[in-house]
Amino acid sequence: MTLPKHVRLVEVGPRDGLQNEKQPISIADKVRLVDDLSVAGLGYIEVGSFVSPKWVPQMAGSAEVFAQISQKPGVTYAALTPNLKGLEAAIEAGVSEVAVFAAASEAFSQKNINCSIDESLARFAPLMEAARENGIQVRGYVSCVLGCPYEGEIDPARVAHVARELFTMGCYEVSLGDTIGTGTPGKTRQLIETVSRDVPRDKLAGHFHDTYGQALANIYASLLEGLCVFDSSVAGLGGCPYAKGASGNVASEDVLYMLNGLGIDTGIDLDALVAAGQRISDVLGRANGSTVARVRSGVS
C-alpha cells in the first residue's frame, strides 16, 4: 500500500501530556502552550479534560483555558469528556468537539474507571445522544490495544469489538492506543488488519507510546496499512498512571520529522513546534522528551 500524501496529527500534549503532572501548572502556561501549538500549525489540539478534579486535579482549569486561548479558524480545539456531566461542562465552555475512551482490557477498565468494558460503553449512550443534539462531534479512544499491564497481550478481536461499538454509537473516528508501548510493527499491522474489518481504515487513528522505542516504527507500519491520523504529544509529554513503566506519548516533533522525511504533508512548522515543546519543558523543569529537539539544541 502506498503512503498517504497528507497526515493529520492530533496534538494531545495539553491534555494527555499534562494531566498526570504533580506540580501546579498555571492557566497562563497552559494557554501559552495551546497558543504556541496553534501558531505551529497544528490543526487539532486536545486542550483539556472535563473530569472530576478529585480524579484529575491538573485538568480542573480546563474551562478557563478554553476561555483564554486564541482560537484560530479551521483549528479543532477538543476536550476529553468521560461522561454526560463532563459533556455538559464542555458545552458550557464552548467546546465544539469531545472525546470518550474505553479499554480493550477488562482489568485495565476496572483499574482505570471502576467498571467493565460493556458498562463503560453503556455510559456513553446519553453522552452521544446529547452530543448529537448539540451538534458536537465525538472521537473515540481505545486503550491497551497492543498490550495490558495486567493481562499481557490483547486479542485483536477484542479491540475490534470495542472499536466497532464506539464507531456504531457515533464516534466519527476511533484512535487505537498502545497504552504501555509494547507494540511492534508486525503486531500493529495485524491489529489494523483485524480492526479494519469492522471499522474503515479512514476512520481509524493511531496512538503510540514509546516505552520500548517502537512508536515511530509502529506509526510507519500504520502508514503502510492506510492510516493517516496519529496522536502525538509535544516534547513527548505524558504517560499513564495505571500502566507501570509506561513512558510518554511519542513526541510530536519526532513524528513530524519522520513525516517530513517521507514527503508527507502536515501543514506544521517543525521549528515552531520544537520551540513550543522546549518552552513547556522549561516550565516543567524537565528534559525535552523529543529526540529531534534535543539534537537541535545540542543536548544528547
274 vs 286: CA distance, rounded Å: 15
Which entry of 144, 171, 228, 240 is annotated as an active-site residue?
Answer: 240
**In b/e form, how buried is each residue of 208-219, taking b as 16+ CB within 10 angstroms?**
bbbbbebbbbbb
CB within 8 A of 85, min separation 6: which ones?
50
53 vs 122: CA distance, rounded Å: 23
- Residue 115 annotated as catalytic: no
Catalytic residues: 240
